[in-house]
Amino acid sequence: MSQEPSLQDLILGYCQQVGGLVEPPAYGIYEVLLPDDVAARWGFPAHQRFLFAEEEHRAVLEGSATQGSVATEGSAATLLHYGHPLVETVVEELRRQSANGLFFVNNVRLEKPGLFSVIEKAVGLPNAKLFPVPDAVERRRLYHYVRFNFKASLIADEKRELILPIWMHLQSGYPVKSDDIERLAVLDVVNQFKHLDPAELAWLPRPPANPLSEEVLHPLLERARLAARIALGDTLQSLEKRLRRFLELDHARLSQYYDDLQKDAEKRLQKADADHRPALEAKLSAIETERQAKLADVVQKYRLRVDLELVNLAVIAQPKLDLKVEIKKRTAASQRQVAWDPLRHTVEPLACDICGLPGEELHLCENGHLAHAACLAPQCVECKRTFCQKCAESLQNCVVCARPVCVHSLARCPECQRVTCHEHVNLCHAANGEPQRIQAASPEAAASLEKAAPAAAPVPTPHGAELAARRKAAKKRGIPKARTTSVKKPVAGPTGDYVDIYFGAAKPLVSAYVMVKKREIAVRSWELTDGGIAVYCQCGNWYCREDGLVYRPAPDGQIEAQIMSNIRELMAEYHVPEKKLHFYRVVGEAVDARRLILTGRWKDPAALEAARTGFDNLK
């Protein structure tokens, strides 16, 4: 039998892929209802009855054996075979999809009366307002999507492959959901809007003149890879669950087997005379060695690896209408290009300057950046100015109460040069030259600090040596950890009350503590090392698949998002809801923070690049 997909699989599969309904066959005949636009595109009626050449024979046979009428009724069905115009059309469409290519969407009307007010309604700005830019005019320009087709290989005890298309908005640099575009766009090989200029890129600092050059496509591919991993999330999770279950079973089976062997040998050792003892003792230790090796094997066997290979890419060009607008508040302003998509009839969302993802609601930072609420730095307690994470340097912490104060509001002591909020101006060297530490400056701060310090909050300060040792151990391991404090956990996994995240300026380390009744039940840390982002996990699970892993750092500016997605994975593992996540910035002491703010090496492009190179050279 041939491994090639049959004509039937090909056609029916594709009909479903484009949104058609395929009824189960009756006597070898498939009723298919195609979406109207697809039917129009192919030039066939939407309602089809397909009979396949390879099935014809059987249909006739079955028909004649049971119901003679079917064979003759078959004439009402379309007999499909290679060379049939409909088959040719589908094959051609598939061919265009599976090869690198450049396509044009021409089926749009480039008009939108009252564009400014349409944009005004669509863009959510909680702390700013939208204004027209004097002399700005609506422009018709060419925008692009890039569809990256990845082959994702999920490798563990078996290998699963799937094709994963990721659509990226070239001008905005973020992933887009392609359903509507695919449904509405007619892909043409001819550009009917040749006279239009391409729109400029919004996400690269110095975008090249040609938006389709490698300087653009390479970083876009990096972003697409990240999006692909997120898109794989559910698949990976269910796969991992299955693997964990298998691992538990294998582990239990092996443990039982070696326990029995061991008991047996121990019994014999007890009864043995001095002459035989050495041999039996050697046997016992051999059993233990073999047990460790076998357990290491199964851990390896069920470890999930994900490979993403770019198969091909297609560029889809589509004209859009855009307009320059100004986003303004009392203290800051920024101009942005906002595009109207005449295909989907929507205003395209602006991108967050921190994580690069689109935002329905974006905050204007004091320095003109736009950011998601989650991508902001803590707010200044004095003036309530909003800073984004890129501008976290504009904030310092009062040495007395540790609350954030911005450069505009802080007070610097002329004697000791320390920084305080206004409330604590006289306390910066009040305790024998040292700051007087106040934990409860105001009811508000008291509440937040109480939360920040549950009876000696664990502040992670693994020393370099300790980390190196742990890393070595993790690398060597692969075998169950002989952990004296090991906590046995049920397969379903325990539930954490909350997760505390600690991060600080001193070293590029983020630590997450999963807490139950104020006790930590797991600690997972991410450290930026020369070989990438190294993970250390103490969760007590001997099969922990995170411990010892190294991740390739995401593109500059997306590091927070990358660490946050790891944190969310940990939270999912322990069933901790989003609102039970607390952030603490370690600046001498732990300070309540609203989000993860990475600084120092995490934000040093050279350090990140070195880590990526180190990662790429790992294997």
**Which value, in Å, is the radius of gyration of the alpha carbons in the chain?**
31
> Are the C-beta atoms of 50 and 32 separated by less than 8 Å?
yes
Whole-number minimum distance, CB 371 to Zn ion, in Å?
6
Whole-number minimum distance, CB 358 to Zn ion, in Å?
9
Strand, coil or helix: 314: strand
Whole-number minimum distance, CB 132 to Zn ion, in Å?
24
> Are the C-beta atoms of 480 and 292 separated by less than 8 Å?
yes
What residues form DSSP beta bridges with 567?
Answer: none
Tokens 């921190």 locate to: 354
Question: Which residue type occupies 165?
Answer: P
Whole-number minimum distance, CB 275 to Zn ion, in Å?
46
Sorted by sequence, the CB contacts under 8 Å of residue 221 that are 6+ apart come out as 148, 310
Whole-number minimum distance, CB 401 to Zn ion, in Å?
3
> Are the C-beta atoms of 90 and 82 separated by less than 8 Å?
no
Whole-number minimum distance, CB 122 to Zn ion, in Å?
18
What's the rounded Cα separation, in Å, for the pair 231 and 176?
A: 11
Whole-number minimum distance, CB 394 to Zn ion, in Å?
8
Based on CB atoms, which residue is closest to Zn ion, 141 or 390?
390
Buried b (16+ CB within 10 A) or exposed e, 46-67: eebbbbbbebbeebbeebeeee
What's the rounded Cα separation, in Å, for the pair 60 and 63?
A: 5
Based on CB atoms, which residue is closest to Zn ion, 388 or 509?
388
Based on CB atoms, which residue is closest to Zn ion, 241 or 345?
241
Sorted by sequence, the CB contacts under 8 Å of residue 367 that are 6+ apart come out as 332, 387, 388, 390, 391, 394
Question: Which residue type occupies 13?
Answer: G
What's the rounded Cα separation, in Å, for the pair 244 and 252?
A: 12
Buried b (16+ CB within 10 A) or exposed e, 479-503: bbbeeeeeeeeeeeebebebbbbbb
Based on CB atoms, which residue is closest to Zn ion, 413 or 505?
413
Whole-number minimum distance, CB 533 to Zn ion, in Å?
15
Based on CB atoms, which residue is closest to Zn ion, 250 or 547?
547
Based on CB atoms, which residue is closest to Zn ion, 313 or 533?
533
Burial of 172 (0-12, 13-18, 19+ CB in 10 A): buried
Based on CB atoms, which residue is closest to Zn ion, 440 or 506?
440
Based on CB atoms, which residue is closest to Zn ion, 89 or 439?
439
Based on CB atoms, which residue is closest to Zn ion, 97 or 448?
448
Based on CB atoms, which residue is closest to Zn ion, 321 or 377?
377
Selection from 306, 305, 307, 302 nearest residue 543 by Cα: 302
Edge-to-edge strands, sheet with 21-22: 21-22, 29-33, 47-52, 78-80
The span from the first CA to the last CA of the chain, in angstroms, equals 39
Based on CB atoms, which residue is closest to Zn ion, 380 or 611?
380
Based on CB atoms, which residue is closest to Zn ion, 339 or 406?
406
Whole-number minimum distance, CB 198 to Zn ion, in Å?
26
Whole-number minimum distance, CB 281 to Zn ion, in Å?
34
Whole-number minimum distance, CB 499 to Zn ion, in Å?
13
Based on CB atoms, which residue is closest to Zn ion, 170 or 370?
370
Selection from 501, 511, 510, 486 nearest residue 578 by Cα: 501
Whole-number minimum distance, CB 546 to Zn ion, in Å?
5
Burial of 556 (0-12, 13-18, 19+ CB in 10 A): middle
Based on CB atoms, which residue is closest to Zn ion, 144 or 390?
390
What residues form DSSP beta bridges with 551?
Answer: 533
Long-range contacts of 604-610 (CB under 8 A, 24+ apart): 605/556, 607/508, 607/528, 608/528, 608/553, 608/556, 608/559, 610/530
**Binding footprint of Zn ion on the chain (CB under 5 A):** 352, 354-355, 365, 367, 369, 372, 375, 380, 382-383, 385, 388, 390-391, 398, 400-401, 406, 408-409, 413, 415-416, 421, 424, 428-429, 537, 539, 544, 547
Whole-number minimum distance, CB 517 to Zn ion, in Å?
20
Selection from 339, 321, 327, 250 nearest residue 291 by Cα: 250
Whole-number minimum distance, CB 587 to Zn ion, in Å?
13
CB atoms within 10 A of CB 276: 12
